[in-house]
């Protein structure tokens, strides 16, 4: 009997997500699989309470999950909620640097990942560096939420994903005049507005940190 396409899609998502979770755990990260976005939101709501201070790294995943509202429903204090938006934000150091320092001391920092490999590595590309810094050390706890679309077979494919999907789409989102906004793939530009400056690869959970990677069995973010 032929199986329906949605059933096959589910099989593939579950298979890769569970494989990535197992590998992340081997690499000493906390890791869990939420088949749906609703379950992911519940997971996040369950770890905050009244007064928990939360920072959110620039992420379309957070926007798509409506995380600010969901966290505030539980009484959490989202420190940078005005920055959780699909719209471009001005790169104003007067505003950003004090906020970065504040987020460093948050109870919980939530961000996405640009790619997760099947052997449990976590990759991100950053321009300012606040997101990768807060992921690496500082906040009391970090949760990285990644849709199953972020899973790559290996590091080579993860970089391919960054160069052909994550980075060009973010450049387009921020309306930057960089060549990838015309080609749809990375041209390794030397533009003054180059968005990709820090390539961050975590093979193992950094020492002295509490990082959980939440894989969601749906497409989320870029």
188 is a contact residue toward ligand SF4 (CB under 6 A): yes
- CA–CA gap between residue 111 and residue 98 (Å, rounded): 19
Structure tokens at 73: 């429903």
- Cα–Cα distance between 75 and 59 in angstroms, integer? 21
Tokens of 3: 């199986």
Q: Which of 55, 58, 168, 221 binds ligand SF4 (CB under 6 A)?
A: 168
CB 219 within 8 A of CB 169: no
Assess contact for 20 and 116: CB atoms under 8 A.
yes
Under the criterion CB under 6 A, does residue 186 sit at the interface with ligand SF4? yes
Q: Considering beta carbons, is residue 138 or 179 the nearer one to ligand SF4?
A: 179
Query: Of residues 44, 76, 122, 180, which one binds ligand SF4 by CB under 6 A?
Result: 180
Binding of ligand SF4 by 194 (CB under 6 A): yes
Element (H, E) at 182: helix 180-183
Asked if residue 167 binds ligand SF4 (CB under 6 A), the reply is: yes
Please measure the distance between the N-terminal and C-terminal CA atoms of the chain and give it in whole angstroms: 35
CB of 137 to ligand SF4, least distance (A): 25
Q: Tell me how far, at minimum, the Cβ of 52 lies from ligand SF4, in Å.
A: 34
Distance CA 87, CA 191 (A): 21
Spatial separation of the C-alpha atoms in residues 198 and 49, rounded to whole Å: 33
Q: Which is nearer to ligand SF4, 80 or 112 (CB)?
A: 112
By CB under 6 A, is residue 132 in contact with ligand SF4?
no
Q: How far is the CB of 213 from ligand SF4 (least distance, A)?
A: 24
Q: Considering only 27-35, 85-93, 178-186, 209-217, which stretch makes contact with ligand SF4 by CB under 6 A? A: 178-186
- Residues of this chain that interact with ligand SF4 (CB under 6 A) are 167-168, 171, 178-180, 186-189, 191, 194-196
């Amino acid at each position: 009997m032929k199986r329906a396409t949605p059933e096959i899609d589910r099989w593939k998502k579950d298979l890769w997500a569970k494989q990535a979770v197992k590998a992340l755990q081997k690499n000493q990260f906390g890791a869990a699989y939420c088949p749906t976005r609703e379950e992911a939101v519940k997971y996040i709501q369950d770890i905050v309470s009244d007064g928990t201070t939360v920072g959110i790294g620039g992420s379309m995943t957070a926007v798509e999950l409506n995380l600010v509202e969901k966290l505030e429903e539980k009484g959490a204090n989202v420190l940078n909620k005005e920055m959780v938006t699909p719209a471009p934000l001005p790169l104003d150091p007067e505003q950003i640097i004090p906020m970065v320092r504040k987020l460093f001391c948050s109870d919980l920092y939530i961000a996405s990942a640009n790619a997760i490999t099947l052997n449990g590595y976590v990759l991100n590309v950053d321009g300012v560096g606040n997101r990768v810094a807060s992921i690496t050390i500082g906040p009391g706890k970090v949760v990285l939420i990644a849709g199953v679309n972020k899973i790559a077979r290996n590091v080579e494919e993860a970089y391919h994903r960054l160069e052909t999907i994550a980075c060009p789409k973010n450049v387009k989102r921020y309306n930057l005049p960089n060549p990838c906004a015309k080609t749809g793939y990375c041209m390794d530009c030397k533009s003054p507005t180059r968005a990709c400056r820090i390539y961050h690869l975590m093979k193992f959970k950094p020492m002295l940190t509490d990082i959980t990677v939440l894989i969601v069995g749906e497409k989320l973010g870029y």
